[in-house]
Every structure is written in structure tokens, then in C-alpha cells.
Structure 1
Amino acid sequence: MNREKLENYLEKNPFAKLSEVVTQILYDQIVVLDIPPASKLNINQIATDLGISRTPVVEAINRLQAIGFVETKPKASGFYVTDMNLLDMIDLYDARTAIECEAAALCADKASPEAIAQLDNLATEFKKAVPRMDGKRLKETDMPFHKLIVEASGNKYLIRSYNELLPNLTMYQGSWPKFISPEQSNPWSSQVVHQHGAIVSSIKLHIPALARQAMAEHIKSSLNFVAYSDNTDDPFWIVKRSSEKNDRVQGK
């Protein structure tokens, strides 16, 4: 992080508030893991590196905290980049299920031929990326696919809700290398690789119930695919971990 980067942002956005520019700089660095999860943010150092006062840095960090990118810790002072953890990812994917399943059903009813053609192309590219565990191509074809389905639903409230999840989805996708096994032994890849195509097929058939079901199955498989660990030989470990989380929440 340096003064030159700040100047480049200001040159492209001459009317932006300084705190907004600092927010974008920190956001970008967190997403691509230049600032790793759980890192402490040194406000004085950031301000010095950028050649600015502390005030816009503090305002930027407060904005990032509001969208879940930054957190405080009960027994530690200061601000930290939000850490990646399994239980939070389960919550995030539960929210995705609530939004995207209904969006897929509406998409099957409303999507234009142009949107369906775009979805078809993204599904084809995604299918190529999964067997290679190509993290870069997975991110380039996965999120645009899901975002397009939500947008094609035509429901402004679903779109708004999904957009609220996007920062956190982006952060987790930036951290995929922490979760995705580089080995070819991931037991969920054989399911995930075909599921985008299944979703598109149900949308082409204009069968909302089928699209809703296909999306639900895909999000469940995707969670297992992303979080699968070679430390266990049980491919259903994340489902069990999710049940454990629910038991703790309910006080069992």
C-alpha cells in the first residue's frame, strides 16, 4: 500500500471522498489476500504509507466493518481483517440458498433468450475449470453465473438482498485457496461440475420447481466442494459440522 496507488485512484475518481478511496484500496487488498484474513490493521501505518491523516483511514475501516470485512476482537485492541471460518461460511451459504433458489425459479419463468445464452456459456466454462481446480477460472465463471440468475429473476428485493451478500461472497472467493484442495480427490467435484448445466437446463425448460431444486442441490454441493479437507475421509463432514453448529445455537 503506497501513496502512488492512492494517487491513481484519485486520478480515476477526482470527485471521490478520500475516505471512500481508502475504503476501495483496503477492500481490493483484502479480496485478493494482499492483506490476509485475521491480520491486524495498523491505522497509523496505513495513514503513513498513503501520506494522509488518520481520519479517512478510520472512516474507511468503519465502512469495511459495516460490510463484514473488518472486525474487533473481545480480548484484543484494534481492528482485524475478518477471518475465514467454516461456521460463518455455512451461514453465508444458507443465505445464498434462501435467495438464489427463489431467483432460479423466477428466472425459469422470466429469463430472456439472451440471458439464457449467457448462462449456457458460463456453465460450459465452469465445467472446464472444475476438474483442473483452476481457482481463477472458477471465480471468473461461478459468481457471474449466480449473479446473472439473480438479476434475470427480475425481483428487485432478491437482487438487493443478493447484492448485500456480494462483499462477503467476494471475500470468501478470494480466499478459496485456503479451502479448495489442489488434489483431484475432492469427492464433490464430480457433482459440482455438472450442476451449473443442470440449472441452465431447468431454466431452458421453464420449469420453476426444477430450477429451484437444481439450485438448492448445487449450493449444498458447492459448500462441501469448497470446504472439503483431505484431513478427513468423510465426504459428509461439513453437513455434520453444520448440524453441530445448529445444536449449539439451540443449546442442545
Structure 2
Amino acid sequence: MSRQDASTAPRTQPKVAAGEVYSTLRDSIVASEIPPGTRMNIDAIARDLGVSQTPVREALQRLEGDNLVVYSPGRGYGTTPLLQLPELRSLFEFRLLVEPWAARSAAVDRLANPSDTLDRELEAFERRVDDRGDLRQDLVAHDTRFHDTILGAAGNRVVQQAFVQTHCHLHIFRLYPADVDGTVTIAEHRRVWEAIRRCEPEAAEEAMADHIRNSFSRFAQAFDGDLPPIDPAGASRSSKARVVR
């Protein structure tokens, strides 16, 4: 190894380890293998994963950015509580304001139309469903890629960044495995994809709005009692008010 190689190797290894630690901890938190409100002992995590404390600290800082862990002075890191119903409703009201618009914007006859990318994503996830394994992490990843692709195709980076910062996919999938085998999600995603592929903006907007409302109903099953559906008009007004504030 040259002198230059020898000097760079030690600096790159912790980054790789931190990424692996981050993915491992994130998946465990989303799958509720690490319950909400659990103290994250850095030394214990490092021992369990066979790494030093440095990549664990870096991973926890990234998870704090995802709002999956919180740091308290004197206590250290701990996993964040689950979303409560008002928070879940607010999140889906925001989605109902943003994502139907994004689907409508993406359903255009131009090179930015993301239908080919969405088709490949759906086919890849359907193959995973056919394997009949544990789909929880795959469903989170598929849902994230599908919706992020549509938001990206809409071409508004400010809106896309605001959506990314909600980390909605990571948080809602902690509540309840609402679509255990993924078939409902595939059917609803395909309806959105077909409208975008056909360049039908109104149909794409409607399909996405239906998907968001249905998703809210599924995830709201984590809470007791009869829950009213999201009102699209009310969602738009309340979400706009929150954005302005």
C-alpha cells in the first residue's frame, strides 16, 4: 500500500461502519424491535454490533435527524415516541395537500414523466411480494421510493425537501403493519402509476388522493375508537395554515 493509500484507509472505514450501524438501528426502530422510549446505550450497541463507539455516535446523530431518536442532556439518546392520532392526522393532511398536486404535475407528456421509473419500482416490489418473506422493511423502502419519485418529477425542490423532512415513511410504519402482504399498496400505487403513464393529470390527482385517504384509514387502526376520514377541503385549509405559520 502506498503512503497515500495508508493515510486515507483509516478515515474511510468509520464512514462505512457508521452507515451500516445507521441502517441496522433504523430498521430495528421502524420494525419496533427497539421499542419507543428505549434508552440507546452507546457502549452496549457498540459491543452488540462489534464496532467502536464512534460509528454508533455518528449513526445516532443521523437517526436524530430522522426524528427516530432524541437526545436529552444527562440521559443520552432514546427512541422517540410513536405518533399519536393528532400527529398522524396532521401528517396525512399535509400529504393530502402536497402529493395529489405532485401526481398531477408528474402526469405530463414530457421527458420528466416518471412512469418508467415507477413501473420498474412496482415490478421489483411485486417480485419481493411473491417471495412471501418479511415485507416490513421492503414495504417502507418501496413506499419511500415510489412517493419520492413522484415528488421529484413534479420539479419543485422546496416542496420535495419539506416533504422529505417529515420522514413520514419511517414514522407511520412504526405504528402498525397496515398492509401486511403489500397487495393493497401495490393496487393503489398501480392506479396512480397508470394515470401518470397515460398523462391524465386529473386521474393521477384523484388516485393519489384516494391512496392517501385509504392509507390514513389503515394506519389509524392503531388507535381505538371510530375515526372520521380526512376531509380534503379541511386538510388543505389546515395544512396551508401550518405552512404559513
* Length-normalised TM-score, structure 1: 0.62
| Match of residue 215, structure 2, among 209, 213, 222 | 222
1:201 match:
194
Residue 139 of structure 2 aligns to a residue whose secondary structure is: helix
1:181-200 to structure 2, matched below 5 A, reads 194-200=187-193
Alignment match, 2:24: 28
Identify which range, 85-94 or 195-204, moves more after superposition: 85-94
1:158-202, Cα deviation, whole Å (9 max, x unpaired): 332233234x523543x36x44376x9xxxx76x55322221232
- Report deviation, 1:112: 3.5
CA contact (8 A) 1:100 1:215 kept: yes
Q: Is the 8 A contact 2:112 2:153 kept in 1?
A: no
Aligned match of 1:5: none
CA contact (8 A) 1:20 1:60 kept: no
Larger RCO (CA under 8 A, 6+ residues apart): 2
CA distance in 2, matches of 1:160, 1:97: 16
1:67 is matched with 66
Structure 1: distance between partners of 2:206 and 2:228: 20
Q: Do the aligned residues in 2 keep the contact of 1:30 with 1:37 (CA within 8 Å)?
A: no
Given the alignment of the two structures, is residue 144 of structure 1 paired with residue 137 of structure 2, yes or no?
Answer: no
Letter in 1 for 2:24: D
- Work out the CA distance in 1 between the residues paired with 2:199 and 2:63: 40
Alignment-mate amino acid for residue 224 of structure 1: S
Which segments of 5 or more consecutive residues in structure 2 lack a partner in the other structure? Answer: 1-8, 239-245
Q: 1:118 to 1:26 in 2, by over 3 A?
A: closer
Cα gap change, 1:159 to 1:224, in 2 (>3 Å): same
Aligned length: 215
Equivalent-residue separation in structure 1 for 2:46 and 2:112 (angstroms) = 50
**1:70-121 per-position Cα deviation (integer Å, ceiling 9, x unaligned):** 12579x9443111323433333333333332221111012664873133235
2:214 maps to amino acid: S
Show the 5 A alignment for 1:91-102.
Answer: 91-102=90-101
CA RMSD, 1 decimal? 4.3
Report the CA distance shift for 1:25/1:92 in structure 2 as closer, same or farther (over 3 A): farther
Q: Which residue of 2 aligns with 1:79?
A: 77
